[in-house]
Amino acid sequence: MLNQPLMEKLMAMRWQGMVEGLKSQEQDRAARGLDKSVVRALAKDSAWVRNHENIFVIGPCGVGKSFLASALAQKACRDGHSALYLRAAALLRDLALARADGSLRHLLARLSRIDVLVIDDWAMTPLNESERREVWEICEDRYQTRSTVLTSQLPVSRWHEQIVDPTIADGILDRLVHNAHRIELRGESMRKNRNPPRDQSQQ
């Protein structure tokens, strides 16, 4: 099962076997620090989903974090699992709206049933009191029963400060970190490489 944002992201990538495409980009992959053995192991039969393990994809802006997270989610769908892709800002907005209209319990229950929850751009801004309590509930509901994929520009060591409350931060990270695969990417933004600045002299 693919949700609409994930479907649109995958369609924009033209469904060209994204995991296989990652495997074929030898020079680019090496430059970004992407270990093909790790990707191959995770993508092989999506065992990480059956084992209720998480994945963190860490790195600077534009190095392919969302691409890789979506590729793994797509492969999980091909292996029979459901997936939901949300940008962190959209998730927090949805939680706030659900809190306001009384549908929060329904939204949290829905999130708890998704096999693979992809949260893109996690920990970009500090969480307020309501947000961190609801994120804790999501993590608690999914702990050892579902898998979560987080992409972030911040290293895991900085996530604690973005959650703000030390006790809740401990609870959230305890449920996320200990059974997580970490993929750390590096390099310059691929968007920059795709869109080089125009030579003013040629204008």
User: Could you report the per-residue pLDDT of 92-102, keeping only the tens digit for each?
Assistant: 999 999 999 99
Phi, psi of 55 (to 5 degrees): -135, 130
Alpha carbons 168 and 14: distance in angstroms, whole number: 40
Give the residue among 170, 177, 158, 91 at the shortest CA–CA distance from 131: 91
Helix extents (H) in 25-165 = 26-32, 36-43, 47-50, 65-78, 88-101, 104-113, 129-142, 159-163
27 confidence band (pLDDT: 50, 70, 90)? very low
Structure confidence at residue 15 (pLDDT): 41
Pairing of strands 83-87, 54-58: unpaired
62 confidence band (pLDDT: 50, 70, 90)? confident
Q: How many CB atoms lie within 10 A of CB 27?
A: 7
Indicate the pTM of the whole model: 0.81
Per-residue pLDDT of 132-167, as tens digits, reads: 999 999 999 999 999 999 999 999 999 999 999 999
